[in-house]
Amino acid sequence: MIISNSKIVQVCNVSTSCQKDQLKSLFSCIGMIKEIQLYPDSDTLTSTINGKVGYIKFDRIDSVHGALNMNNTIFIDKPLIVSQVFENNMPDETDAIIYCAPLNPNITLLSGGPTWPSTVINRLVGQPPNTFIETIDPELTGRNLPPYPLLSGTLDISKFEEIRRTTFSDRGMKNDMKTLVIRCFLCHWCGLFKNYQNHLTKNHSNPFTNQSNNSNVAFQLRSSIGKFYENSKNVKILTTNIEQILSQTSRDQLSIEEKSPPGKLFQQKQDFIVPCNGILLWKIDNIKNQLNDMRSMITSPSFYTSPDGYKMCVRLYVNGNGIGQSTHVSIFIVLMRGNYDAILDWPFDFQVIFCLYDLTNQNNHIIESFQSDTKSISFQKPQTEMNNGCGISKFIPISVIQQDNNSYICDNFTYIKVIIRKNPIPTCILPYVMNIDPALPMHIQEEMIETAIQKHKLRPLKLTLTLKSSSI
């Protein structure tokens, strides 16, 4: 299970005879490996240690998914225990050695691991002292493939199944590949790997005929992986486009320039510490009286995207503005002249998020967002005290906010939260973001948001990679 954004996996219960290159060879088929460590090394290995522990850092987070599927795989003489490392830092030997303690000597396969097919029969053949364990697999027989090699009759009966499943990363693997069943990617032929080259030479005149069997299999793998990443890229592009569409569903409603803005700035009087992190939590007092005055226009205190960043405020029209006039409450972001405008990048290019809080436990917040239009005059460098506002003319119906006992007004005040983001938040996780406890330190809130964004990015990449070959 993925628990963080770390690209490092821990591999416990590794055979004491395993070398770093062998472990790397096993996991390199999953994805590009940036770094690998195996503890303890041969110089510090003692008889009290029953298994080594390895750490593998992949180039991509999605490779971690594949690595976790290696859990319970028998490698050399032990089932591997694969898990994700929470932190994205490679542990040193001092931290890793605690995972090298002896395990239960009776362990074969972990709970939930693969099981031996019920159709496979193991029996004792021969006469003492020359007895052997024979394994009969109907699938091998049906394919006219060689049977499993005989095992010694003196072998502990509880160990032979584990040995049958064992993967050996050595030269013998090349010999075993001769019995690999492979499907031709140019026709419907299916047969042994060792006969594949003859099939290509005899039936297909193509650029791959003069290459080795390994090259043809590698071509299939590279081709499939290439298509996988191409499809993944297309999915990411499609997801980005969908998010942009969702966040700008109606140009008639979102990112509309303010009509007839006031000639000067009117700010609500209140005790206020100026935010310098791009987040404004605005408490509006005496809101019922404001609603009764249908000409009312309320301006928030100013705030900044950073201590040396863009200066802005929020303007709220109780009776609407522009296309929301008399039907909706309208809300606009207003860029103001700041002390650091001369060294800032223009035009202003950020995501703007508005949220009117539901003050009950229903969490039915009113949330709208848009990406600033860099061609709009509203987001150019201010030449006067403030620019025209730009935002949402139809933020919330007036009829909803004027209802008695509505969920957005409590004790004659309401809360509006404004978030300015350089890296946009996907629309679908905005409700989660608005439910994060504002009392948490900002770095904790940001970590929670980034974790949610990463989970959202991973969700659409559930593509299946299918190779046109099979093994027994």
pLDDT per residue as tens digits for the range 83-114: 888 778 888 887 777 666 444 333 333 333 34
Mean pLDDT of the chain: 76
Most confident of 214-218, 350-354, 395-399: 350-354
User: Where does 8-100 sit in CATH, by number?
Assistant: 3.30.70.330
- Token pair of 32 as six digits: 């590009």
Host H or E run for residue 58: strand 52-58
Q: Is the dihedral of CA 288, 291, 297, 302 positive or negative?
A: positive
Single-letter amino acid, residue 123: R
CATH of 256-435 among 3.30.2350.10, 3.40.930.10, 2.60.210.10, 3.30.70.380: 2.60.210.10
Is the backbone of residue 126 left (phi > 0), alpha (psi -120 to 50) or beta? Answer: left
| Pick from 294-298, 349-353, 374-378, 416-420: least confident | 294-298
- Tokens 């969490």 belong to residue: 363
Residue 148 or residue 346, greater confidence: 346
3-state secondary structure 394-437: EEEEHHHHCCCCCCCCECCEEEEEEEEECCCCCHHHHHHHHCCC
Residue range 305-342, pLDDT digits in tens: 999 999 999 999 988 998 888 899 999 999 999 999 99
Mean per-residue pLDDT, 231-242: 61
- Selected residue with higher pLDDT from 142 and 350: 350
**Would you say the CATH fold of 256-435 matches that of 8-100?**
no
**What local confidence, expressed as pLDDT, does residue 191 receive?**
74
Q: Given this model, what pLDDT does residue 190 score?
A: 73
* pLDDT digit string, tens, across residues 35-79: 999 988 777 777 667 788 899 999 888 788 778 877 777 787 778
In a 10 Å sphere around its CB, with 0-12 CB exposed, 13-18 middle and 19+ buried, how is residue 408 labelled? buried
- Amino acid type, 352: V
Which ranges of 264-411 does DSSP label H, i.e. alpha helix? 287-292, 398-401
Q: What is the pLDDT of residue 181?
A: 59
Q: Is the pTM of this model over 0.75?
A: no
pLDDT of residue 211: 42
Q: What are the sequence ranges of the domains in the chain?
A: 8-100, 118-170, 188-243+443-472, 256-435
Give dist(CA 79, CA 113) in Å, integer: 9
